[in-house]
Chain A
Amino acid sequence: MKIGVLALQGAFAEHIVMLKKLGAETAEIRLPQQLDDLDGLIIPGGESTTMGKLMVDYELLEPLREFGLAHAMWGTCAGAILLAKDAHREQPLLNLMDITVERNAFGRQVDSFEAALDISSLNLESDAPFHAFFIRAPIIESMQGEAKALVTLPDGRIVAAQDGNLLATSFHPELTGDTRFHEYFLSLVKEN
């Protein structure tokens, strides 16, 4: 199984470390032709405006969109924003997931936080709380169509959602040593 990690900017190296731990083959993706032999793709955390700009300049927007229509794709934080159909702001988006996101929903960096999340909805072998990092994080404000909430904060705000083979998390499993979200994503790749 070969998983690409979009390497335009951001924490792509951290995702690659996690994927390698799970025995997946990995590739850094910067140009459209590099998508050809992939089974799945992760868009990492970083700055969504930076990545969006580089997607436009190197004609990645449409190829990534087509890839996501046929394959499993996962966006963390900025990646989740890029997968969305709406981010309340003029910026390039992939328009793939039936979700609306709000950027920087918790405030600025001084409001960034870590928290333990209930991930029992994922039906994994272990449903111990997932220790998650929220860094200037977005929230998934609303969902349409087939999209469903996977993980919520105690106040009900949605921080992980799935729409078919597409996964969005507003936090960063790649910053932890905990591979359970990456395992879950690989299971989506396999099912696909």
Chain B
Amino acid sequence: MEENTGSFAVKKGLAQMLKGGVIMDVVTPEQAKIAEEAGACAVMALERVPADIRADGGVARMSDPDMIAGIIDAVSIPVMAKARIGHFVEAQILESLGVDYIDESEVLTPADNDYHIYKHDFKVPFVCGCRNLGEAMRRIGEGAAMMRTKGEAGTGDVVEAVYHARTVLGDIRRLQSMPIEEVMTFAKEIGAPFEILMETRELGRLPVVNFAAGGIATPADAALMMQLGVDGLFVGSGIFKSGDPAKRAAAIVKACTHYNDASILAEVSQNLGEAMVGINVSTMPEEEKLAGRGW
């Protein structure tokens, strides 16, 4: 029997198993256990959640491998970790640690201002951020096996998550309704690889799983993104920067499953304590926004 590891279908397959679930940022093994207990379908191991990266400033890099290994040992669910945009050596290190997914993330300080990692070279799958269809198509072209709309990480303001999800899904609707002879020019305009764009047109959705991220802080935010049509959610600072992380985490998981049931949403939204202190994105200077990172 021939066994084949690291194929694109196998990489994409894990993301398919995460659908309908919530991936939570955690900074310690204890937080990872709280997340697993609350029903997270995976955790993102990192040293600082985006809200703290924002507050601290400086260069944000890959986390300490020892800390990531501690989280891998603590839970049975998949563990993801972040590498800087273009930093293929951080990615090699994360792959050797046995992380289940690498997030080539704009939340960390980019290591390359022109190029992303060539992700087909790795056995470990990658997830990347996007704000529009062209960006998603370029990342998939480089080998990303999962996408997430970027939103604006570490703000607790869902407005950019909504904008990016609507943009990607709207671009796909436009792609599907245009006559076929217009697709090549559309590909040129949005900087998308033509073949992947054609596949997307055929499928009526991205050819890989697409989660929402960046600013989701409440069960209602979670259900909003699901109703808009994403496959699942990343919640970063929204959980462990809130008053009662375990309760909020469990509530967001339930909201992600029962996103169409307003009475359940009302019930899980009760008495969650303080939500994270938010930063209003509309008053934020352009240079402080993370979503613009990525080429």
Binding site for B on A (CB under 8 A): 7-14, 30, 45-47, 49-50, 53-54, 57, 77-78, 89, 103-104, 107-117, 133, 135-136, 153-154, 172, 175
Contact = CB atoms under 8 A, between A and B. Distances in A.
Nearest to A176: B9
B271 to A, nearest CB: 16
B17 A77 contact: yes
A30 B39 contact: no
B215 interface: no
A50 B258 contact: no
18 contacts: A7-B20, A8-B257, A9-B256, A11-B16, A46-B18, A46-B21, A50-B39, A53-B253, A104-B76, A108-B98, A108-B99, A110-B6, A110-B100, A114-B3, A116-B2, A133-B13, A136-B17, A175-B9
Contacts of B256: 9
Contacts of A107: 98
Contacts of A110: 5-6, 95, 98, 100, 123-124
Contacts of A153: 1
A30 B20 CA distance: 12
Contact of B20 (A8, A112, A133): A8
A47 B257 contact: no
Interface of B: 1-7, 9-11, 13-14, 16-21, 36-42, 72, 76-78, 95, 98-101, 123-125, 250, 253-254, 256-258, 261
A116 B11 CA distance: 17
B222 to A, nearest CB: 13
A50 B253 contact: yes
A10 B6 contact: no
Given A49-B77, A135-B10, A113 B5 contact: yes
Contact of B1 (A9, A30, A115, A133): A115
B17 A47 contact: yes
A67 B104 CA distance: 43
Contacts of A13: 19
A133 B10 contact: yes
A14 B20 CA distance: 12
6 cross-chain pairs, A with B, having the tightest CB-CB distances, nearest first: A109-B100, A53-B39, A9-B20, A47-B41, A113-B5, A9-B21
Contacts of B4: 113-115
Contacts of B38: 53
A24 to B, nearest CB: 21
A53 B98 CA distance: 26
Nearest to A103: B76
Contacts of A53: 37-39, 250, 253
